[in-house]
Structure 1
Amino acid sequence: MKQRVNFYEKGQNALKTLFNMGAYLKKSSLDQRLIELVDFRVSQINNCAYCLDMHSKDARAHGETEQRLYSISAWRETPYFTEKERAALAWAEAVTACEVPDEVYAQVKDHFTEEELVDLTLAISSINTWNRFNIAFPMPDAVGTYRVGQFG
């Protein structure tokens, strides 16, 4: 494979924008543990190894259990997730697939305010963007090296 651009070195302006979105989301009313669950699930869907490593570690640092992380791809069939988390995971999957049925919207509206729903959608868009950059410009040697809090 031909050497690809090192996004983390050459994409500083783009990175600032992505980090600013992350800083905004940390100040939002969304529970950080919920954001980590969504980030982990979307990264599974997108097959982003670096983000899976990062968000599994960050989720555990926020009190997430191994059992829930191991079963998140089957969240519909497990008793481990609250109705609010289920709504967020359904929303994350639908937004990531670019197909948002009315019933998924109705479900998520029952658990989030309008502002929270906008912020949740921004979180989903943000992790999808990170996934796509990490897949387009892979750094296989970096997978497994993330440390909790490494990026602020």
Structure 2
Amino acid sequence: MESRVKVDKSSMDAYRALLGVEKYLAQCSIEKSLRELIKLRVSQINGCAYCIDMHWKDARASGETEQRLYGLPAWRESPYYTERERAGLLLAEELTRIADRPVPDVVHERVREQFQDREIADLTWAIAAINAWNRVNIGLGTVPGDYQAPGAAH
């Protein structure tokens, strides 16, 4: 992972802590396919080229279709997302843009229709984590392009 900013050893402790959150999320109650869609959509909103590159590749390596990935910015108008995915993407967008406005009650209601309490907590952590990764990678100037998804043909 190439970065325009030289990272010293002490800041690697913070990196490892965020990896600990990722370790939890890898076994959480939210299915991997939805986590990848959320990671990609939030990264698109935040304009994080490194994370877009990474999560597009991870999603494809996990079997996600190109049609669903290409249509992700217009998920509201696209027929190939489930109601659960739509609720998760809606919450992801609202929490990512939280500085602009509060999350409307109707969003929480829609999320509750699709997710149990533990799932909502896990979903919220997944959204918070990718927002943090986006900010770290943008802030450090991490260069996109060289990432290879685990298990993908090189």
C-alpha separation between the residues in 1 aligned to 2:8 and 2:58? 20
What runs of 5+ residues in structure 2 fail to find an aligned partner? Answer: none
Give how far 1:21 is off. 0.3
For 1:145, the equivalent position in structure 2 comes to 146
- TM-fit CA distance, 1:100: 1.1
| Superposition deviation, residue 90 in structure 1 | 0.2
User: 2:73 & 2:20 partners in 1: Cα distance?
Assistant: 29
Instruction: Give the 3 Å change call, closer, same or farther, for CA 10–134 of structure 1 in structure 2.
Output: farther
Per-residue deviation, residues 88-126 of structure 1 (Å, max 9, x unmatched): 000000011113110011001111110110000000000
Moved over 2 A (4+): 3-11
Q: What is the identity, as a one-letter code, of the residue corresponding to 2:146?
A: T
Letter in 1 for 2:85: E
Q: Decide which structure has greater helix share.
A: 1
| Correspondence 1:124 to 2:127 | yes
Listed as ranges, the matches of 1:1-152 within 5 Å are: 5-7=5-7, 11-98=11-98, 99-140=102-143, 143-149=144-150
3-state SS, counterpart of residue 110 of structure 1: helix
Q: CA deviation at 1:29?
A: 1.6
- Superposition CA RMSD, Å: 1.7
Q: What TM-score do you get using the length of structure 1 for normalisation? A: 0.90
Q: Unaligned regions of 5+ residues in structure 1, if any?
A: none
Contact 1:39/1:127 (CA < 8 Å) preserved in 2? Answer: yes
Count the aligned residue pairs. 146
Q: Which has the higher contact order (CA 8 A, sep 6+)?
A: 2
User: In the TM superposition, what is the alpha-carbon distance from 1:8 to its structure 2 partner?
Assistant: 8.1
TM-score (norm: length of structure 2) = 0.89
Q: Percent identity?
A: 49
Please give the alpha-carbon distance, in whole angstroms, between the structure 1 residues aligned to 2:145 and 2:9.
19
Decide whether the 8 Å contact of 1:8 with 1:15 is kept in 2. Answer: no
- Which has the higher mean CA deviation after the structures are superposed, 3-12 or 62-71? 3-12
